[in-house]
Amino acid sequence: MHLNYDDPIAWLDHRYTCDVQARNASIEKKFVSFFNPHESVLHITDVGAGTATNVCYYFDKLKHQQEWTLIERYDFLLQAARERLRKLAEQQGYLWDEQSDRVQLIDNNKRATIRFVNGDVEHLEELTDMEQTDVLVANAFYDLISFDQFDALIGKIARHNIAFLSTLNYYETSFYPFQEEDHQVMRWYHMHMKRPQPFGIAMGADCCEEMLDLLTQHHLMIEQESSQWHLKRSNTTMQHYILHFIEIALAELNLTFEEQDLFSQWLKTRKKQLHDRSLEIIVDHNDIFATE
């Protein structure tokens, strides 16, 4: 199988179906129900918006007129988001109105206006109107930022009384059939997630616990449930990605020769199982919805 691992757009496309299947129905229902009484336009800010996954997923599920602000640090992903939404409109028969700074999806009497903003979470107040925002959403994002960045973010949404929805927050990865070396390999993988970076140390696999602690400290009411990828034996594409990510991450660690050998043997076994279609991978996440 040939996959371009260096193409993040392809990765986001491949993972979309897994994310849809994993999103927790109970959290989604609470989110949608919370805003059912909302009678005006629903203003949604999406941080780390990628290729507009959340717009694609929620446009039909929300009854409201919607205004989305998609915040993404990589401009090429914003361009891909615009193209993805255009294709969605074409496939679903929505009316499509495109301007330089925004697009609109129109389905009968429902409309979503979507703005594309290049920037990062640290400058949120400069990138979106916090006074107008009703809910801040993100998908598979917070493991990539630091505790301090998240603390500052939650302080801002608490001050502005903004609801918070975060889906697919990474927790852990498991493999079947089980191997004794799994625990050690995943310990190294999670160490790599928390390596020092220019912005600090990402929350990584600790993100769920640290997010819940900070949300509690800011006195928000929290709902949380699990959201799980079950990559079955037939899902070789996603299994290739997972093993590749682990391989690249561990190559950047200063492992001893003995540790490198242990990992090499583990990876060889897992790749053979993938080839033989005898491997299953479980990736556990949490979905969180929090309000004042």
* Residue 2: predicted pLDDT: 79
Checking if the pLDDT of 1 tops 80, the result is: no
The DSSP code for 41 is P
Determine the pLDDT at residue 101: 85
CATH topology of domain 8-172+200-232+283-291: Rossmann fold (3.40.50)
Q: Reply yes or no on whether the pLDDT at 221 is more than 90.
A: yes
pLDDT digits 0-9 by tens, 186-200: 999 999 999 999 999
Q: Dmax over Cα atoms in the chain, in whole Å? A: 64
Report, as an integer, the average pLDDT of 55-71. 96
Q: What count of other Cβ atoms lies within 10 Å of the Cβ of residue 20? A: 11
Q: How would you classify the pairing of strands 42-47 and 66-72?
A: parallel
- Tell whether the model's pLDDT for residue 280 goes beyond 90: yes
258 pLDDT more than 90: yes
Q: Is the pLDDT of residue 71 over 90?
A: yes
pLDDT digits (tens, 9 = 90+) for 97-130: 999 889 999 999 899 999 999 999 999 999 999 9
For range 167-185, the mean pLDDT = 98
Q: Domain residues of the chain, as ranges? A: 8-172+200-232+283-291
- From 169, 241, 232, 175, select the one nearest 14 (Cα to Cα): 241
Locus of tokens 């990876």: 267
- C-alpha span between 129 and 289 (Å, rounded): 21
Q: What percent of the chain has pLDDT over 70?
A: 100
Angle between helices 8-22 and 236-251 (to 10 degrees): 120
Q: Using one digit for the tens of pLDDT, what is the confidence trace for 19-36?
A: 999 999 999 999 999 999
Q: What is the token pair recorded at 156?
A: 């801002």
| pTM reported for the whole predicted model | 0.96
d(CA 194, CA 251): 15
- pLDDT of 100 reads 85
Query: pLDDT at residue 18 above 90?
Result: yes
Beta bridge partners of 137: 46, 165
Share of the chain above pLDDT 90, in %: 97
